[in-house]
Amino acid sequence: MSLFRFELRKLLLNKKTLFLLICLLILYSVVGLTSTMFLIGGNDSYRAYEEAATDWEGTFDSEKAAEAEKIYKEVSARYGTDARMIARSVKDQPEIILAVNYHAYAERVDEYWIGTPPESTDEPYGIALLQDKIAELERRGQRNSLEYREFSASLQRLEELGEPQFANTLLWENLFNNWGEHMMQFLLFVPLTFVIAPVFAMERSCGMDNLILSSRNGRRKIVTAKLLSVLVASTVVVMLYLTATFIFGFLPHGSFHGWDAAIQSIPTYAQSMFQFKVWQLAAIGAAWLIFTGAVYSLIICFISSRMKSRIGTAGVSLAVLFVNVALAAMGDTVTQRLGALVDFGLANVTMIKEVFGGYKAFNVFGMSVGYPVMAIFILGIFAILAVWGIYRGQKNRTV
């Protein structure tokens, strides 16, 4: 217990790290604040948007869609079709933003019924498209194929979820942007790397290994203490990020509007097959970041136990974190051949959008396993291997 207290102090509760944490807290608050402030002009614009949106929320309404379409045409003639460009240009006109959003929503409803274009490489989505694919497989007599079962399950799921509804989830969209995009990795996982990196490497660089390795508890108990302190430290850093972006994301507008909507109302999650409410996704997303942060930290811990310096550890850890971004950037041939590496590389698996935003399934010995379950399984294996390697390494370590 007391060894754990010391390890925690060395890793987290010392002046340098606490100072870093305070800086991070400020940074995160600023990120939360600015992302929400520039979302839709000032506070008044948001109020106006929220008020106007209440009339539009709910099931699909073709009259409203027509009206939105008209406004959208006018706007896009002037500002182009890029939704973000439009949003930036008409910041102070909430009614227009609302119409543009409703127009996008109408397209998503179409997609729900008709489906993604056949040439799309994504998982098939949409009632009609899935029905077609299933019919085709039936014609070919492939009722027992994995694909057939997958498509049927998807279709059934889509029908259960029902047609997406329109909801004002602006503030939550902003939250999920902050929590689930690459930006989060730079703001959260990169600093986390530097917090965790010294855990073992510092003993080497400052020469304390002599004392540690020659002591009774220096080869096993200390590893337990260090691992625990790493988990605490990573949870603290992630919680810092989550709380700061949460509080400052909602505070300026003083509203949680949209918390009870289905996540399919959020554009990025429109094709999600998970039957979550927005608040549930937020809870799951937070838990997901804590979990993946912990696994990543254990991997850093392993790297640290093999390296001489903190900087070296950080470098290798960041390479591990972003390796799949590089792979994915190499193009389709690489992505296809090393698909698993891209899917379960840390840069992907730490993003809730990737994990909960669609319905990827994997064929594991003939069983169809969903992305989150598969990710938990694979990350679990990473974590176990890392921990095992750390214990083994410390047992055989020399100065």
Partner 1 sequence: MELNFENITKSYKNKQVLKGISLTMGTGVYGLLGPNGAGKTTMIRIMADVLRPEKGSVTYNGNDIYAAGDEYRANIGYLPQDVSFYDDFTGRDYLEYSAALKGMEKKRAKERIGELARSVGLSDDLNKKCTAYSGGMQRRLGIAQALLDDPKILILDEPTSGLDPYERIKFRNIISAYAKDRLVLLSTHIVSDVEQIAAQIMMMEHGIIQHVKTCEEYIRMMEGRVWLVNMPAEQLVDYQNRAVISNVRAKDGCMVVRVIEDAKPDGGAVQAVPTLEDAYLYLFNYLPEKNGR
Residues that bind partner 1 (CB under 8 A): 2-3, 6, 10, 14-16, 202, 206-222, 395-396, 398-399
Nearer to partner 1, 26 or 208 (CB): 208
The rounded distance, in Å, linking the Cα atoms of 148 and 152 is 6
Cα 308 to Cα 203, 230, 285, 369, distances in angstroms? 9, 18, 35, 40
Closest CA relative to residue 230, chosen from 293, 272, 174: 293
Minimum separation from the CB atom of position 201 to partner 1 (A): 13
Choose between 208 and 385: whose C-beta lies nearer to partner 1. Answer: 208
User: 277 has which bridge partners?
Assistant: 262
Q: Tokens 């490497």 — which residue?
A: 201
Work out whether the CA dihedral 37, 41, 42, 44 comes out positive or negative: negative
The amino acid present at 140, given as its one-letter code, is R
- 3-state SS of the chain is CHHHHHHHHHHCCCHHHHHHHHHHHHHHHHHHHHHHHCCCCCHHHHHHHHHHHHHHCECCCHHHHHHHHHHHHHHHHHHCCCHHHHHHHCCCCHHHHHHHHHHHHHHHHHHHHHCCCCCCCCCCCCHHHHHHHHHHHHHCCCCCCHHHHHHHHHHHHHHHHCCCCECCCHHHHHHHHHHHCHHHHHHHHHHHHHHHCHHHHHHHHHCCHHHHHCCCCCCCHHHHHHHHHHHHHHHHHHHHHHHHHHHHHHHHHCCCCCCCCEHHHCHHHCCCCCCCEHHHHHHHHHHHHHHHHHHHHHHHHHHHHHCCCHHHHHHHHHHHHHHHHHHHHCCHHHHHHCHHHHHHCHHHHCCHHHHHCCCCEEEECCEEEEHHHHHHHHHHHHHHHHHHHHHHHHHHCCC
Tell me how far, at minimum, the Cβ of 224 lies from partner 1, in Å: 12
Residue (18 or 283) nearer to partner 1, CB: 18
Nearest approach, Cβ of 204 to partner 1 (angstroms)? 11
**Size of the chain in residues:** 399
Q: Could you identify the residue written with the tokens 């079709």?
A: 81
Query: Nearer to partner 1 by C-beta: 78 or 392?
Result: 392
Least distance between partner 1 and beta carbon 205 (Å)? 10
CB of 178 to partner 1, least distance (A): 33
CB of 203 to partner 1, least distance (A): 10
Classify strands 361-364 and 367-370 as parallel, antiparallel or unpaired: antiparallel
Which is closer to partner 1, CB of 333 or CB of 396? 396
In the complex, what is the shortest distance from the CB of residue 390 to partner 1, in angstroms, rounded to a whole number? 17
Closer CB to partner 1, 221 or 392, in the complex: 221
CB closer to partner 1 out of 218 and 345 = 218
Q: Report the nearest approach of partner 1 to the CB of residue 303 (Å).
A: 21
Of the pair 34, 210, the CB lying nearest partner 1 is at 210
CB 2, min distance to partner 1, A: 5
Phi, psi (5° rounding) for residue 253? -100, -10
Q: Which is nearer to partner 1, 171 or 222 (by Cβ)?
A: 222
At closest approach, how far in Å is the CB of 221 from partner 1? 7
Residue 229 beta carbon to partner 1: minimum distance, rounded to whole angstroms: 13
Residue 6 or 259 with smaller CB distance to partner 1:
6
Which residue lies nearer to partner 1 by CB, 162 or 207?
A: 207
